[in-house]
Structures are given as structure tokens and as C-alpha cells.
Amino acid sequence: MLGSADAAKAMTEPAQPDRPAGAAPGVVDEFAHIPRSRGRHPLVALAGALLAFFLVFHSRRELRYALLPSAPLDLGTARATFGAGKVPADLENRYVRVSGLPDRESALELDTKGSWVFSQLFRVLGTGDRLFLHRRESPLPAARAEVDSFEGRLMRVDDLPFAAAIRRYFANHVVANHFFAPEVFARAVAAHHAGETLTVVDRSADAVTLVEGETVAIDVAQPDEVRIGLPRTRFPSEDDARAALTSRGGEVVKSLGAIKASASASAPEAGPLSSTPEPPERWTFLVKFPAAQRQAALDAIGDLDRLVDIRDARQTIEVKVADVEAAPSGDAGAGVGLIVRPGQGPAQRLPAASIAAIHTLAPVVIPDDAYLLVEGETPREHLPTIFLALVLVMFGAVNLVGFVRELSR
């Protein structure tokens, strides 16, 4: 009976939905009216995991480089490794040491905007423009500047984010002087067929391609003559300068007038705020001397002033590639000479012995298989990349677990 009365009383009492489970009668949960927050959407967790793993994949080259040994791989000479035309594929993204002759004449000086930090970028001779060097240190330590041996990270130019821009800049704005041995140039011309491009190996062992419309300069030596420049500061008039030469046994063959020496391309511009002196202006002549008195006369003329300029007399002939042909020399041991027709004029025969130099300017074209060596970049510099990758992997794994849990609810 008592049990029935308790049951009836419980049925007549009002329901208490806010009472916590297991709580005493009459206790109400005051937070029951607050709605329960929903978990993250599964796609958010999946996106976080994918982003973390993508960043790890994107830095895979830096991770691989950071795990390399601290001792560089010695490649020997750049000419032997990169000049053959086929570079081993396993050299990419490696810490290497290589020696070679840098082309400082056509080097670029890079600066970071907003700072006074400068770095150098130049090609290495004898590699067919397949190896470029980025020298980051500024100023460069003397010990490193005195040796042509470089250590750093070797990368393909195509892997650089600015590869297209640097190729375009070099092709349009950077030219390099190429000097050819007369015998090598003459043999290449002899094997050349009309309508084809002419490929000649220069003195640095780089193959240079010349089209028929390009110009080459041929310096022809004039062994019986000497080019002498006397400074105007010492000799006010041309007659004074001429008298100084004739009084010492010289015969003036030709007067070239007053010539002002050109400033070096590497020297800062002269001006009121510059410490670089103005290039001197000289009365310049082509002069002959009797063979027996030649050396004594040149010594006496050289002692006149420290600005006296004495050099071999040369005639420079600029001619198109299409107007050059090879001609065998008259003497059996004299080698192969050239026949040139400058400006469609009369043909001139140039014996090999009379050619002092053959040179041309050509744009620097970076080939598809070119490499860049970033000097001083060691694997140890990329050790933080390993820790960042570990953090990203953990972050991705946590998000992946969260994604699985959200789907299982």
C-alpha cells in the first residue's frame, strides 16, 4: 500500500527536467539552458591537415639539403664538371666545392632594396655558361677573394623563382668579351658553310655561336711601328710632342691627334664629388724607329713623364662574319690565315702571324641546363627547417585525428 502511495505522489509531483542526473530531489542545474557548442566542421580539420602537409612537401628541397653532411662534395674544376655539356643529375641541391675562373668583367652587383647589402652574380669561364656563382658576403673576406675556389649550395637555375627574369635580363643587358685564337677561328671559318651559324671555341673554352650578321674585331699587328701617347699636360701642342719623338730618332708615320683615355668600366665616375682623376689626354702617334736604336729610344721617351703611353701598334678591322673566309698561309709552317672584305671593300689577306687577336661581344644566354652555386650556404643554415617541418607534421596529424573523430560522431 505504501509503495502505491509513493508512486501516486511521484506521479502528481511536477517534472524537474533541469535536475542533474544523480542529484538530490529539488536540485536544479542552472546551466542547463545554455546550448551546447557544436564541434568544428570536419572540412576545417581536413583543410588544416592538408595545408600542413603541403607546406612540408613544398619545403622538401630545404629538408633534403638540411640533412646533408657538413663536408662539401669536391667537384674539382668547373671546366671538367660543367664544360662537357652534360652535368650529372645527382649534383642538384648538393653542398659542393668547385674551382674555376670567374668572369668578373660581365658580373652583376645585386642590392637589396632598403639596405646597403650588396652581392655579386657572375658566370664561371670554361663552363659554356652552365655555372653561375652568387657571392652573398659583403664585404668579401680577403682569404676568399684571393682564391678561385667556391663552396655552397648547387641548384638548377630553373628551380629559382626568378629564373625567367634573370634569363631575360642577361640576354638583353649583359654582354661578354670573347677572345679567339687566330688558328682556332680560321679553322672554324674554313669548316663553316654559308647560311649556317658559326660556332667557335674561345680562349676560355666556351663555345660561342655567331650568326653571319654579327661583327668580329680583328687586331692586326704592325710590328715595325709603335703607338706612343704623350700627355698634353707636358706637351701643350702637337708640334712639341712631335719634336720630342723626332729628336730621339723616331719617324712619325701617322698622327692620331689628341686622344683622351677612356675610364675603366669598374672605376667610379669622375666628378666634383669623386676622388677618381680625369683620364689624361695625350697626343698620339704611330712611330717607327731604327732597329738598333728602338729600345733605347723607347726607354728615353718613357722617362719623359709618368703619363707617357707606349704600346704595340695595331690596326683593328671590324668585319661581319659573312665577310670572313679562311685562306691557307703562303708558308707551310705559318698556319691558316684569313681573307676579309670589310664594308664590301677590297679583300685583305691577313696572315696568321700578323693577327694579334680576334674578339667579339656576345650576349650572355643562360642555357636550360645551367646551375647556380650560392656561395656560403651550408646545410647547417637550414636546420630550423627540420623543426618547423616536425611542428607542421604534428599539426597535420592532430587535425587529421580531429577530422576522423568528427566523422565518427
Report pLDDT digits (tens) over 289-303.
Answer: 999 999 999 999 999
Task: State mean pLDDT over 188-209.
Answer: 85
pLDDT digits (tens, 9 = 90+) for 79-93: 888 887 677 778 889
pLDDT at 96: 94
Asked if residue 229 has pLDDT above 90, the reply is yes
Asked if residue 4 has pLDDT above 60, the reply is no
pLDDT at 36: 59
Which of 326, 133, 303 is closest to 228 using CA atoms?
A: 303
pLDDT at 1: 46
Asked if residue 280 has pLDDT above 80, the reply is yes
Q: What is the pLDDT confidence band of residue 30, given thresholds at 50, 70 and 90?
A: low
Asked if residue 354 has pLDDT above 80, the reply is yes
Mean pLDDT estimate for the chain = 83
Task: State mean pLDDT over 106-122.
Answer: 79
Angle at 357 between CA 351 and CA 362, to 5 degrees: 125
Radius of gyration of the chain (CA): 39
Task: Please count the CA atoms within 13 angstroms of the CA of 392 that sit on its side-chain side.
Answer: 18
pLDDT at 333: 46
Q: What are phi and psi of 331, to 5 degrees?
A: -85, 145
Q: Percent of the chain at pLDDT above 70?
A: 83
pLDDT at 251: 94
pLDDT at 9: 52
pLDDT at 87: 77
Cβ atoms of 250 and 288 closer than 8 Å: yes
pLDDT digits (tens, 9 = 90+) for 36-62: 555 667 888 889 899 999 999 999 999
Asked if residue 393 has pLDDT above 70, the reply is yes
Q: What is the pLDDT confidence band of residue 332, given thresholds at 50, 70 and 90?
A: very low
Sequence length of the chain is 409
Asked if residue 107 has pLDDT above 70, the reply is yes
Task: State mean pLDDT over 349-374.
Answer: 89
Strand ranges in 261-393 using DSSP code E only, listed in sequence order: 281-288, 309-320, 324-328, 336-340, 348-350, 355-363, 371-375
pLDDT digits (tens, 9 = 90+) for 235-271: 999 999 999 999 999 999 999 999 987 654 444 454 5
pLDDT at 105: 83
pLDDT at 128: 87
pLDDT digits (tens, 9 = 90+) for 119-151: 888 899 989 889 999 988 877 777 777 888 999
pLDDT at 279: 79
Task: State mean pLDDT over 162-175.
Answer: 88
What is the dihedral angle through the alpha carbons of 51, 54, 56, 58, rounded to the nearest 10 degrees? -130
Domain residue extents for the chain = 42-67+385-408
